[in-house]
Amino acid sequence: MVRARSEERRAEILRAALEVIAERGYRGATLGSVAERVGLTQQGLLYYFPTKEALLVAVLEERDRWDTSGGRDREGWRVDLLESLVEYNAMRPGIVQTFSALLGESVTDGHPARTFFTERYAQVRANMADVLRLEFGDRLPGGLTPEQAAPLLTAVMDGLQYQWLLDPSAVDMPSAFRDFLRLLRGGGDA
Amino acid sequence: MVRARSEERRAEILRAALEVIAERGYRGATLGSVAERVGLTQQGLLYYFPTKEALLVAVLEERDRWDTSGGRDREGWRVDLLESLVEYNAMRPGIVQTFSALLGESVTDGHPARTFFTERYAQVRANMADVLRLEFGDRLPGGLTPEQAAPLLTAVMDGLQYQWLLDPSAVDMPSAFRDFLRLLRGGGDA
């Protein structure tokens, strides 16, 4: 019972941290502002997350749990599930904003999320190559190998998120992503 | 003579600001750290740029001057010049780092670069559509219209920059961008 309540409190803190990072970025976020949002003192927050970096790591791990539920099924990732993931992302701008802000910050010197993102992108590119190989074999209709297409698929997802966050009325993210899949599939009518 | 020296000093300050933003992001950058890097007091810096935001705007305008020199000629943008721009960017990680960090931060609430990036992306998508129409007409070999392909072209350039900044040994940015152009051109051998 105490354990369940503690888990709930952790989840609350993570939600608050996501919001604060979306609003101010990681460097602009303070433990005090996260604590305030969940009605804890800063000392109380430190019981759950002893440092700001520990909280960031937990936020990033939480992201992976979401992505796992959104982009893959029991057998792994599939191209049509990626389409659903992008549609799902278009309904949760707050979370996309948090991770787009963190990705941007992560390329600054010594940022605590840098290693996470570097390793994650290596993993994502490898997963994407597997997905593409499963669907298309060793050569996509558009002429690329899965290994050539994987960083492009990843780049399109990230790059579209920035354009969409800046101006959701100008960029239909799911539709643009489907256009890209059409390119990968070799174009023509669809 | 005084004017020339003042212009030189402004350029020095902009270079220093670029470095500091690359290292710490805009929110982490201080006018004091920029001033220190060029051997000015903070008061001295304020003579050239009265606020941190004014300095940011000048940095962003400077970016446009670079892009203008790198990606277009007297007649405007061309697809093969975009290829050269990406090659050029791969030789100047500091500047790419500054702008990737700023783009990331710009999606946080009330960021002073947000309007700049929103307007700039609308302009960039329009320019890209013009470039693509000039080369391919109203329908690209891969099946998309220039207006459909423009946000994807833009997204690939931005997204590849993050992957490359995080791990330059894993992502050959110019080569990946050429792969994408191959897709747009309808694939096949190239």
Residues 23-62 of B with CB under 8 A from A: 23-25, 27-28
Question: Which comes out higher in pLDDT, residue A142 or A177?
Answer: A177
The more confidently predicted of residues A78 and A169 is: A169
- Look up residue B83 and give its two tokens: 């290829």
pLDDT in tens, B140-158: 997 899 999 999 999 999 9
The pLDDT value recorded for residue A181 is 94
Q: b/e per residue, A89-114, with b = 16+ CB within 10 A?
A: bbeebebbbbbbbbbbbbbbeebbbb
pLDDT one-digit tens code per residue, A142-174? 789 999 999 999 999 999 999 999 999 999 999
Residue A189 has pLDDT above 70, yes or no: no
Q: Residue B107's Cα: distance from chain center in Å?
A: 16
Query: What CATH number is given for A2-184 in this structure?
Result: 1.10.357.10
Nearest C-alpha in B relative to A139: B188
Residue B72 has pLDDT above 60, yes or no: no
Spell out the domain ranges in chain B.
2-184
Terminal Cα distance for chain B, rounded:
54
Q: Do B25 and A27 touch (CB under 8 A)?
A: yes
Give SS3 for B73.
Answer: strand
Q: Residue B151's closest CA among A176, A169, A174?
A: A176
Among the partner-chain residues B118, B156, B183, the one whose CB lies closest to the CB of A155 is B156
Sign of the C-alpha dihedral computed for residues B189, B184, B130 and B165 taken in this order: negative
Predicted pLDDT of residue B73: 53
- Could you tell me the two tokens for B99? 């702008």
Residue A71 has pLDDT above 60, yes or no: no
Cβ–Cβ gap B187/A186 under 8 Å: yes
In terms of CA atoms, which chain B residue is nearest residue A190? B143
φ/ψ (deg, to 5) at A77: -75, 150
Q: Does A167 touch chain B (CB under 8 A)?
A: yes
Kindly tell me if the per-residue pLDDT of A190 is higher than 50.
no
The mean predicted confidence, pLDDT, of chain A is 89
Query: d(Cα B114, Cα B127) in Å, to the nearest integer?
Result: 20
| Predicted confidence (pLDDT) at residue A60 exceeds the cutoff of 90 | no
Of A98, A125, A103, A102, nearest in space to A15 by CA: A98
Is the pLDDT at B52 greater than 80? The verdict is: yes
How does residue B118 score in pLDDT terms, banded at 50, 70 and 90?
A: very high
pLDDT of res. A70: 46
- The answer to whether ipTM exceeds 0.85 is yes
**Whether residue B70 has pLDDT greater than 70:** no
Q: How confident is the model at residue A67 (pLDDT cuts 50, 70, 90)?
A: low
Q: What is the dihedral of CA B42, B46, B49, B50, to 10 degrees?
A: 130
**What sign for the dihedral angle of Cα A120, A123, A127, A132?**
positive
Residue at A75: amino acid letter: E
Contact (CB, 8 A) for B109 and A23? yes
Residues B27, A23: C-beta atoms closer than 8 Å: no
Choose among B105, B167, B188: nearest Cβ to A121: B167
Stretch B76-102: mean pLDDT: 89
Question: Chain B contact for A100, CB < 8 A?
Answer: yes
Residue type, A25: G
**What pLDDT score was predicted for residue B67?**
62
Q: Which one is predicted more confidently, A183 or B74?
A: A183
pLDDT over threshold 70, residue A113: yes
* Cβ–Cβ gap A163/B154 under 8 Å: yes
Residues in chain A closer than 8 A to B140 (CB atoms) = 187
Chain A contact present for B181, CB below 8 A: no
Burial class, B105, CB count within 10 angstroms (exposed 0-12 / middle 13-18 / buried 19+):
buried
Q: How far is B69 from chain A (nearest CA, A)?
A: 23
| Residue of chain A with shortest Cα separation from B112 | A24
B190 pLDDT more than 50: no
| Sequence-ordered list of residues with C-beta below 8 angstroms from that of A13, at least 6 positions apart, any chain | A34, A38, A40, A45, A48, A49, A55
Residue A5 is predicted with a pLDDT of: 84
Mean pLDDT check: name the lowest of A9-23, A95-109, B50-64, B107-121.
B50-64
pLDDT at A62 (0 to 100): 82
Which of residues 103 through 122 in chain B touch A, CB cutoff 8 A?
A: 103-109, 114, 117-118, 121-122
Look at residue B175 and tell me whether its pLDDT is greater than 50.
yes
* Least confident window among A71-85, A104-118, A125-139, A151-165: A71-85
What mean pLDDT value characterizes chain B? Answer: 89
Q: Counting beta carbons within 10 angstroms of the beta carbon of residue B112, is it exposed (0 to 12), middle (13 to 18) or buried (19 or more)? A: middle
